[in-house]
């Protein structure tokens, strides 16, 4: 199983940021409201994720580290989710095959915590008692220590950190109710406190995109026929410089889409021609109206009624801009 896991790891685990993505998604799936991320040397030395989610029961711990042991295959509907994410139930097994991984967890029903780690080439899992509050901690040490070719592909600590930081921004902007922290080499570098109000969300936006962006951002909030668009766009008046704050989410997933880009550019065509306009926008629509599995890695989507979605976005942005004028 070691080799199969390492091959699977090639798809799941490209670099520290992809490990963190998988682990944090698990924490969020487990209902965590707080996720603390700790890394050393850009994540190549240590990746540690602690959450306050549901935890994993002692008898499930070893299973969680084995391949295709997902507990999330509840209904046929989930098959859609599986297709769209490309794989399911192999993240922990894959990561543990290319690092020294320990999983420590406690459920609310248990009075004590347990820790599991995979040992040796047959990946036999050992479980022993530990101390931990309700929730889980996954610790992956020495990523790719046993796959030197892949380890050589890692970039500098700074570059790997930047990938992690950028991924965290993406998730922090859309999971606003979650408290995220990030520590690098012992120093707290990000602290996204839960954003329960617009004011608190603007503070989070300032952390991600800078004070200038958040102070002049225009609110977008528009719904029509089952489509809803909310978030913030750059004001054309205060700031005519390009912004690299460009985040568009469809039903909570970050998307890079030409149709969306086109609608944004068109909305700003008069005020800011040629400028990269900044935005953080969430589009919500009936999941049956969109295919998200076009290309998971490239964040592409396909809207069934693409013209309609395009025009809705355009109008929502135009109305936010017009309101700002008056
Ligand atoms: P998947 O997320 O696709 O189910 P993973 O390999 O990522 O597969 O995780 C395997 C299983 O381990 C999950 O289905 C879940 O039951 C459990 N698990 C992993 N991480 C956590 C966590 N942080 N909190 C609670 N359960 C977890
Ligand atoms: Mg997972």
CATH architecture classification, 211-325:
2-Layer Sandwich (3.30)
Domain range list for the chain = 2-192, 211-325
**CA-to-CA distance for 139 and 119, rounded, in angstroms?**
14
Q: Can you tell me which residue has the tokens 């992809």? A: 18
Query: What residues sit around ligand 2, an ion, with C-beta below 5 angstroms?
Result: 26, 91
DSSP for 232-260, please give it.
EE--TTT--S----EEEEETTEE---HHH
Per-residue pLDDT of the chain (326 residues; tens, 9 = 90+): 566 666 666 666 889 999 999 999 999 999 999 999 999 999 999 999 999 999 999 999 998 988 765 556 555 455 555 444 444 568 898 899 899 999 999 999 999 999 999 876 667 889 999 999 999 999 999 999 998 988 999 999 999 999 999 999 999 999 999 999 999 999 999 999 999 999 999 999 999 999 988 998 999 999 999 999 999 998 877 656 778 899 999 999 899 888 988 998 898 887 766 778 899 999 999 988 998 766 666 678 899 999 999 999 999 999 998 888 77
Give the ligand whose atoms come closest to the C-alpha of residue 69.
1
**Which residues, in sequence order, are CB contacts of 228 under 8 Å at separation 6+?**
222, 283, 284, 285
- d(Cα 312, Cα 326) in Å, to the nearest integer? 21
For the domain made up of 2-192, give the CATH fold: Heat Shock Protein 90 (3.30.565)
pLDDT given at position 273: 67
CA-closest residue to ligand 1 atom 23: 27
Distance, in Å, from the CA atom of 218 to the CA atom of 198, rounded to the nearest integer, reads 12
| pLDDT score of 14 | 87
pLDDT value of residue 43: 98
DSSP 8-state code for residue 41: G
User: Which ligand 1 atom lies nearest to the CA of residue 73?
Assistant: 4
* pLDDT for residue 86: 41
Q: CA angle 276-278-284, nearest 5°?
A: 125
Mutate which of 92, 94, 116 for ligand 1? The one with the most ligand atoms within 8 Å of its CB, which is: 92
- Tell me if 30 CB under 6 Å of ligand 1: yes
């Amino acid at each position: 199983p070691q080799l199969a896991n390492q091959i699977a790891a090639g798809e799941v685990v490209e670099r520290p940021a992809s490990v963190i993505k998988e682990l944090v998604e698990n924490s969020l799936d487990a209902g965590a409201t707080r996720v603390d991320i700790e890394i050393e040397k850009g994540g190549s030395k240590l990746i540690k994720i602690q959450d306050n989610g549901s935890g994993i029961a002692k008898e499930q711990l070893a299973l969680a580290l084995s391949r295709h042991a997902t507990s999330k295959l509840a209904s046929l509907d989930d098959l859609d989710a599986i297709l769209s994410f490309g794989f399911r139930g192999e993240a922990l097994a894959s990561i543990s095959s290319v690092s020294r991984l320990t999983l420590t967890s406690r459920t609310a029903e248990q009075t004590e915590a347990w820790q599991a780690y995979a040992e040796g080439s047959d990946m036999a899992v050992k479980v022993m008692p530990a101390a931990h509050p309700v929730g889980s901690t996954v610790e992956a040490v020495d990523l790719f220590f046993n796959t030197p070719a892949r380890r050589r592909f890692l970039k500098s600590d700074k570059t790997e950190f930047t990938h992690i930081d950028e991924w965290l921004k993406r998730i922090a902007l859309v999971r606003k109710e979650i408290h995220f922290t990030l520590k690098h080499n012992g120093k707290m570098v990000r602290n996204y406190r839960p954003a329960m109000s617009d004011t608190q969300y603007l503070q989070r936006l300032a952390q991600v995109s800078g004070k200038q962006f958040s102070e002049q951002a225009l609110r977008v909030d528009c719904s029509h026929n089952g489509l809803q668009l909310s978030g913030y766009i750059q004001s054309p008046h205060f700031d005519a410089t390009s912004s690299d704050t460009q985040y568009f989410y469809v039903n909570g997933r970050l998307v890079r889409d030409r149709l969306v880009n086109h609608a944004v550019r068109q909305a700003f065509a008069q005020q800011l021609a040629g400028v990269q306009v900044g935005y953080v926008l969430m589009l919500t629509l009936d999941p049956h109206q969109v295919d998200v599995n076009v290309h998971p890695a490239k964040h592409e989507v396909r809207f069934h009624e693409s013209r309609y979605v395009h025009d809705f976005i355009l109008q929502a942005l135009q109305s936010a801009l017009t309101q700002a004028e008056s």
